[in-house]
Amino acid sequence: MRARPLQLLVLLAGILAVSTASIFIRYAQPAASSLTIAAGRLAFATLALAPFALVRHRAALALLTARELRLAALAGFFLAAHFALWIASLEHTTVASSVVLVTTTPLWVGLLSPIVLREPLTRRLALGIALALAGGIIVGFGGAGGTRAATGGVEPGSALLGDLMALSGAWMMAGYLMVGRHLRAKLTLVPYVFVVYGMAAVLLTVAMAATGRSLFGLAPVTYLWLVLLALVPQLLGHSSFNWALRYLPASFVAIALLGEPVGSSALAFGLLHEVPTPLELGGAVLILAGIAVAALSAPPPSADPVT
């Protein structure tokens, strides 16, 4: 079964948008902590959504049940934990190791979806997962000799901590996608993302404050990177994936997330002058092949293509 071109185009746009995240994070990290970056990303995204959500979707928000709010809070927790862990992992381990571990999300979603969501793991989807994961690993190890963490060097104990953070970030993203798949079957996009992003923003802001950090007093250019993080990879990127969750299996949407290292590598080449190795290019091809194979296994989307 094939996904419709509209769903695939939206996922492609989402991949391109989220690919900018690592660039904006790289620019913001010298002046802001990882928690500050994560909190700012979600807080500014929620503020940008607020006028539209509260005016155009007030009725839908008022109809949210207690159970839906609890599930949205759970999705917000998973999203907040994902960003906090992934961004912080870059302070302890290499970019290559972080990418390899955080892009194992499709494996966990693919393995858990048959149990949690009753979505079958077809042979073709399993092949797509295998190809994309192999590509992600190759992309990561292809850059193993490149940029180290922002601290300038990685101690063995610190590297292990960073690796565990990145792997935990993958688990959190898997939980976020599976909860989102369940909720998006009932909620339209704007109320869903407004509530989930808002809850994640609150959790991250509390965590940031608990560490003595603040979103106030940053340099104007740092605010620019945080706002761009909110508008491009968050509102355009993650919201595209949330839109797709209404029509496509969580396991397939998770595979599409593996396109991010490909886009990020291309942007890093143009903006940061980081030249991809032959292994990285080969891994990118495998990732794209995995996404293409998985697209052929996706079931038909539901009838409503625009909500």
Burial of 193 (0-12, 13-18, 19+ CB in 10 A): buried
Q: Are 198 and 46 a contacting pair, CB within 8 Å?
A: yes
Question: Percent of the chain, pLDDT > 90?
Answer: 23
pLDDT exceeds cutoff 80 at 68: yes
pLDDT exceeds cutoff 70 at 130: yes
Q: Which parts of 118-214 are beta strand (E)?
A: none
**Torsion angle of alpha carbons 8, 57, 84, 126, nearest 10°?**
-30
On whether residue 145 sits in a domain, the answer given is yes
Residue 102 structure tokens: 């955080």
In this prediction, residue 45 carries a pLDDT of 94
In this prediction, residue 203 carries a pLDDT of 95
On whether residue 101 sits in a domain, the answer given is yes
- Average pLDDT of 114-129? 73
- Average pLDDT of 39-47? 95
Q: Model's pTM, two decimal places?
A: 0.75
Q: What does the alpha-carbon distance between residue 155 and residue 241 come to, in Å, rounded to a whole number?
A: 36
Residue the block writes with tokens 């934990």? 81
Residues in the chain: 307
Residue 108 structure tokens: 């966990």
Residues contacting 286, CB < 8 A, separation 6+: 131, 132, 134, 135, 138
In this prediction, residue 146 carries a pLDDT of 47
Count CA within 13 A, CB hemisphere, residue 247.
25
pLDDT in tens, 262-287: 777 777 777 766 666 777 678 767 87
pLDDT greater at residue 29 or residue 83: 83
Least confident segment among 145-149, 184-188, 251-255: 145-149
- Could you tell me the pLDDT band of residue 42, with boundaries at 50, 70 and 90? very high
3-state secondary structure 176-205: HHHHHHHHHCCCCHHHHHHHHHHHHHHHHH
Boundaries of domain holding 80:
5-297
pLDDT in tens, 165-223: 888 998 898 899 888 877 877 778 888 889 999 999 999 999 999 999 989 999 999 99
On whether residue 302 sits in a domain, the answer given is no
On whether residue 253 sits in a domain, the answer given is yes
* Count of domains forming the chain: 1
Average pLDDT value over all residues in the chain: 79
In this prediction, residue 304 carries a pLDDT of 38
pLDDT exceeds cutoff 90 at 2: no
Q: What does the alpha-carbon distance between residue 10 and residue 27 come to, in Å, rounded to a whole number?
A: 27
In this prediction, residue 256 carries a pLDDT of 72
On whether residue 255 sits in a domain, the answer given is yes
On whether residue 192 sits in a domain, the answer given is yes
- Average pLDDT of 78-105? 80
Q: What does the alpha-carbon distance between residue 103 and residue 14 come to, in Å, rounded to a whole number?
A: 16
- Average pLDDT of 229-237? 91
Residue the block writes with tokens 């996009």? 189
Going by the DSSP 8-state scheme, the letter that residue 62 receives in this structure is H
Residue 161 structure tokens: 């901590």
On whether residue 83 sits in a domain, the answer given is yes
- Could you tell me the pLDDT band of residue 158, with boundaries at 50, 70 and 90? low
On whether residue 307 sits in a domain, the answer given is no
Q: Are 295 and 137 a contacting pair, CB within 8 Å?
A: no
* Coil, strand or helix at 107: helix
pLDDT exceeds cutoff 90 at 131: no
